[in-house]
C-alpha cells in the first residue's frame, strides 16, 4: 500500500482568493482546492451567473453547471465597485498566495487594484493570475470571449465534424477547461519559482492563446505540409486505423497506433493476411488507402459482439474501446474502482483525476451557496461583528444575490 500522510493535500497552506466566474477560472481553482488549497470564492453582488445556467437545478436552486466546478471552496458576496469593497478585498489578500480573477481587462486597474500600480508593491509575494478572452492589448485586446466564440476563431470548428456536417463546435467547453488547466499549471509554476526568488508575479492567461495551443496536431501538420487541415469526423489526420466501427452490439473505436499493433489486430480478428497486405503495410500506406481499410475492418466487425471483442482485445494489449454514454460511464466498474464517481450527501460528480501516492487530494466541501461563508471568512481576517454588520447594511458584503 502506498504511503500516505494527513497533511491535507499537496497544496495545504496555500491561500487562493478566487474572483472568477463561469468556467475557466472556477475549473482551475477547484483543481487547486481538491489538493488542499484554501479557496475563498469572491462573488459579485449578482453571484456567479452559472448558478442560473440550468436546468437541472438542485434543491437549493443552484444549476448543475455551477455545482460541477465549485467544490472545495467557500463563498463571500462582495461589491468591488465600492471603496469599502476594495478595502475588504485588500484585507483578504493579506497573507494570500494567489489572486485569480477574470474581470474584463482594465477593471482591476480602474478600481485602483492593478497589479503593477498597487498589488505588486503591497503584496510582493502575491501571484496574480488574470484570465481573459484575448488579453488587454492587440487587435482583439479587451474584447469579451466565450468558449464557442474562441473555438470558432482559433480553428476548432474547422477541424471538427464530418465532411457532410459542416464546421461543428466541439461538444465539450474545451477552451474554457483547457484554459483552467493551463492556468493551474501556471499558478503552480509561479509558486515554485517564488520558492527560489521570494517574489510573486503577474500571469496573463487568455482563452485565445490556450485554445490555439490545443490545436494539435493540426497546426504542426499545416506548418510542415502547407495544407489547411479539414474535418475528418472520427478519423485521425495522422493515424489509420483510427475510427468508430459498428458491431452487432455496440459501436467500438479502433486505434492502430503502430504497424505492430495493426498486424496484431488483424490476427485477433481472424484475418492475419490483412496485416500483410501491401496497401496496409505501414501507417502511411493505411492513410493513403483509408477508405478501403475501413471498409474491410467494418466487414469483419459488423456481426461480432463488440463488448466481448473489446474485452478480449484490451486484454491482449490492443487499443480498442466501446462507445458509452454518460450514464454508462459513471456506473462502470472501472470508474468506480478509480474513485472517479463520487458522492457527498446529495452532491455527485467526477472524482479527482490526479492520484498522489503520499498526499492525495480530497473532497471536503460541496459547492457553496452564495455568500454561505461570508461572515466566517471576514471574522478570520480580523473584521469585527459590528464592522461586518455595517458592511452588510451598506450593501458592500452581500448575503443574498442582488437581482438585475
CA gap 257, 242 in Å, rounded: 8
What b-and-e string marks burial along 262-284, b requiring 16 or more CB atoms within 10 Å of the CB? bbbbbeebeeeebbebeebeebe
Q: Which of 269, 266, 312 is nearest to 286 (CA)?
A: 266
Adjacent-strand bridge partners of 245:
252
Catalytic residue among 176, 209, 251, 346: 176
Per DSSP, the residues of 51-85 read: GGS-S-B-TTS-BHHHHTT--S-EEEEE-TTSHHH
Angle at 34 between CA 98 and CA 207, to 5 degrees: 60
CA gap 152, 159 in Å, rounded: 10
Contact 147, 175 (CB under 8 A): yes
Does 79 participate in catalysis according to the annotation?
no
CA gap 370, 240 in Å, rounded: 50
Catalytic residues: 176
Amino acid at each position: 500500500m502506498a504511503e500516505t500522510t494527513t497533511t491535507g493535500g499537496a497544496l495545504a497552506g496555500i491561500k487562493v482568493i478566487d474572483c472568477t466566474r463561469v468556467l475557466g477560472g472556477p475549473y482551475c481553482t477547484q483543481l487547486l482546492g481538491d489538493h488542499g488549497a484554501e479557496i475563498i470564492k469572491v462573488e459579485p453582488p449578482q453571484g456567479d451567473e452559472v448558478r442560473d445556467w440550468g436546468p437541472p437545478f438542485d434543491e437549493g436552486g443552484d444549476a448543475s453547471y455551477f455545482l460541477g466546478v465549485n467544490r472545495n471552496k467557500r463563498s463571500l458576496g462582495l461589491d468591488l465597485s465600492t471603496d469599502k469593497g476594495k478595502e475588504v478585498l485588500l484585507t483578504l489578500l493579506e497573507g494570500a498566495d494567489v489572486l485569480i480573477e477574470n474581470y474584463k481587462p482594465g477593471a482591476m486597474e480602474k478600481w485602483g487594484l492593478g497589479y503593477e500600480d498597487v498589488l505588486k508593491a503591497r503584496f510582493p509575494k502575491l501571484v496574480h493570475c488574470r484570465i481573459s478572452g484575448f488579453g488587454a492589448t492587440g487587435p482583439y485586446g479587451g474584447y469579451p470571449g466565450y468558449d464557442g466564440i474562441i473555438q470558432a476563431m482559433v480553428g476548432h470548428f474547422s477541424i471538427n465534424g464530418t465532411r457532410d456536417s459542416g464546421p461543428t463546435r466541439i461538444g465539450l467547453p474545451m477552451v474554457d477547461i483547457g484554459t483552467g488547466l493551463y492556468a493551474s499549471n501556471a499558478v503552480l509554476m509561479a509558486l515554485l519559482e517564488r520558492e527560489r526568488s521570494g517574489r510573486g508575479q503577474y500571469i496573463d492567461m487568455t482563452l485565445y492563446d490556450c485554445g490555439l495551443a490545443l490545436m494539435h496536431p493540426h497546426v504542426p501538420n499545416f506548418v510542415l505540409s502547407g495544407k489547411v487541415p479539414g474535418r475528418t469526423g472520427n478519423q485521425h489526420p495522422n493515424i489509420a486505423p483510427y475510427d468508430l466501427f459498428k458491431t452487432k452490439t455496440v459501436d467500438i473505436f479502433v486505434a492502430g497506433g503502430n504497424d505492430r499493433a495493426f498486424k496484431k489486430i488483424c490476427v485477433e480478428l481472424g484475418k492475419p493476411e490483412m496485416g500483410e497486405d501491401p496497401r496496409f503495410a505501414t501507417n502511411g500506406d493505411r492513410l493513403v488507402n483509408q477508405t478501403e481499410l475501413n471498409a474491410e475492418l467494418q466487414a469483419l466487425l459488423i456481426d461480432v459482439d463488440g463488448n466481448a471483442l473489446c474485452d478480449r482485445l484490451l486484454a491482449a494489449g490492443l487499443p480498442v474501446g466501446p462507445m458509452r454514454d454518460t450514464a454508462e460511464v459513471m456506473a462502470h466498474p472501472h470508474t468506480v474502482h478509480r474513485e472517479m464517481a463520487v458522492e457527498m450527501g446529495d452532491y455527485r460528480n467526477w472524482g479527482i483525476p490526479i492520484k498522489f501516492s503520499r498526499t492525495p487530494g480530497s473532497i471536503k466541501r460541496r459547492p457553496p451557496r452564495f455568500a454561505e461563508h461570508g461572515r466566517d471568512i471576514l471574522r478570520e481576517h480580523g473584521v469585527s461583528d459590528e464592522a461586518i454588520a455595517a458592511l452588510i447594511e451598506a450593501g458592500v458584503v452581500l448575503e443574498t444575490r442582488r437581482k438585475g
